Amino acid sequence: MESIVRHSANGNTGPQQGEVLVSVRHVSKKFCRHLRLSMGYGLLELLGNLAGLKVKKDALRRGEFWALNDLSFDLRRGEALGVLGLNGSGKTTLLRLLAGIMPPDQGEIMVRGRVGALIAMGTGFHPHMTGRENIYVNGTILGMTRQELDAYFDDIVDFAEIGEFLDAPVSTYSSGMRARLGFAIATTFIPDLLLLDEVFAVGDVVFRQRCLERIQQAIDKSAVILVSNRPEFIEMLCNRALWLDKGKIVAEGDVEEVSGRYTEETSRHSALFAMRSGTSREGTGDVRFTDPVKVYGSASGVSEIAIRGEDLVVEVPFVCNKPWSEVRFSIELVDLVMGIPLTLADCEVPEVTADGLLRCAFSSLPLLARTYAIMLKITHAETALDVWRYAASVDVRRASPRPSKKVRKYPHAITVDIGEASYQFNYEAGSAAVRVA
């Protein structure tokens, strides 16, 4: 596939900001679902080639599907494109086509300059050879010369932090070490085009941090394509995003916009999925939340939608089937993309003897633009009276301020009305509860 290699007219001017490094035009790729059929087609094509025939590639044969369908985009030096999509949407296939591992079935791909690829992390090493030997072999495969490898050798070893394992066979490395070594080889000598596939899926926090820095360095000098199903990494690193679904481009453009739409869409799906799965309610039921759960932004007043930065109000009635003392109410917002509880508001009342209403107002919530599930709990010490996962959901629409990751508890005010009594609590950021009345 390297057959058509030519040098561009400005061969001596060196890297230029803004020059087009990748051009994808109406590219499609099809795959076969069945191994046997796939092998059969392969054999047919081989026989066809032997007879000097071209195989027609426009139509789908039995068992085939379009893994990529009519993709077109350009990428310039200095741009970082994040590719979003669920598993099986064609992200890795796209990278493989760009790396030249497989040819497209339709369309044309132009890639200018040296390509560094990290597809299938930690592979490509020969297990019996030492780290040192593998650095030379893999570096050479990536197109580095012996001199370049000699010059960058120490950098690679430093970044990979393999230290005393340098002369041990790679089969003795941990998966993290392999990932580090692979990443170091592919990125130490910064290529013109860097292809990264789910690099954040392996390795610890420290390594991830250093990967981020390294990629940021690369973006200045080259074009980067980052595939991930974690939109937060793409938002952090990329300036453009491409959303693939079943091999087609759903959206392409500004990273905030595309990523926002993607997370909204996917988190809504996962929220619905979680709510439908029957395990969302536990507890004795002595004191129990009931419908209707009201969630709305204080400014918009529209239910289940909040604008990032404005106040978010959660209102939910509860019934008392059996009186309890020292009852704690808590509200959690669960980030459905990450699957972790993000924000917690809680308060404790001396006793619950009658039905009532819980009202909580979070002020200026710095949430991400995505769907959050609301999880409600009523507890007495270790006893769960009511645990209601996915009581409701709220779509946070994007607005200006960036979320702060340091604060765990955000300012909020809670009112609990029980019968005639009313309790009020105010919370400052990160501080303990202050009972107002």
Partner 1 sequence: MHHLLSQQVRVYRPDERHELGWFQTWIVMARNMVRSRELIWQLFRRDFLASYKKSFLGITWVFIAPVLGILSWVLLQQTGVLNAGTLDVPYPAFVLIGTTMWGLFMGFYNAAQGTLEVGKSIVMWIHYPREALLIKQVAEQLANFTITLAVTLLVLLVFGVWPAWQAVLLPLVALPLFFLGAGIGLIGSLVAVVAIDLTKLANVVLGLLMWITPIIYADNIPHPLLQSLIEWNPLTYLVCSARDIVLYGRLYEPTGYLIAAGVSFLIFMTSWRLFFVSEGRLTERMI
Query: How far is Cα 181 from Cα 160, in angstroms, rounded to an integer?
Result: 5
245 is a site residue for partner 1 (CB under 8 A)? no
Q: Are 41 and 61 within 8 A, CB to CB?
A: yes
42 is a site residue for partner 1 (CB under 8 A)? yes
284 is a site residue for partner 1 (CB under 8 A)? no
Q: Are 84 and 231 within 8 A, CB to CB?
A: yes
99 is a site residue for partner 1 (CB under 8 A)? yes
129 is a site residue for partner 1 (CB under 8 A)? yes
Measured between alpha carbons, how far apart are the two ends of the chain, in Å?
76
Interface mask toward partner 1 for 161-200; x: CB under 8 A: -------------------------------x--------
219 is a site residue for partner 1 (CB under 8 A)? no
Of 17, 72, 145, 217, which one interacts with partner 1 (CB under 8 A)? 145
Nearer to partner 1 among residue 42 and residue 323 (C-beta): 42
Of 10, 87, 279, 404, which one interacts with partner 1 (CB under 8 A)? 10
14-50 residues labelled b (16+ CB within 10 A) or e (exposed): eeeeebebbebeebbbbbbeeeeeeeebeeeeeeeee
- Enter the tokens of residue 369: 């633009």
In whole angstroms, the minimum distance from the beta carbon of 62 to partner 1 comes to 16
141 is a site residue for partner 1 (CB under 8 A)? yes
> Binding to partner 1 (CB under 8 A): which residues in 322-341?
none
> 405 burial class (0-12, 13-18, 19+ CB within 10 angstroms)?
exposed
Q: In this chain, which stretch among 34-42, 173-181, 302-310, 377-385 interacts with partner 1, using CB under 8 A?
A: 34-42
Cross-strand bridge partners of residue 360? 314, 414
Q: What is the dihedral of CA 381, 384, 386, 391, to 10 degrees?
A: 100
Nearer to partner 1 among residue 225 and residue 413 (C-beta): 225
Cross-strand bridge partners of residue 380? 383
Nearer to partner 1 among residue 111 and residue 396 (C-beta): 111
Residues whose CB falls within 8 Å of the CB of residue 105, separated by 6 or more in sequence, listed in order: 28, 29, 30, 57
In whole angstroms, the minimum distance from the beta carbon of 147 to partner 1 comes to 8
H or E element that contains 331: strand 324-335
Q: Are 332 and 374 within 8 A, CB to CB?
A: yes
Interface mask toward partner 1 for 103-122; x: CB under 8 A: xxxxxxxxxxxxx-x-xx--
Q: Point out which residues bind partner 1 (CB under 8 A).
A: 1-8, 10-12, 14-15, 38-40, 42-43, 45-46, 49-50, 54-55, 57, 96-97, 99-115, 117, 119-120, 123-126, 128-129, 133, 136-137, 140-143, 145-146, 148, 192
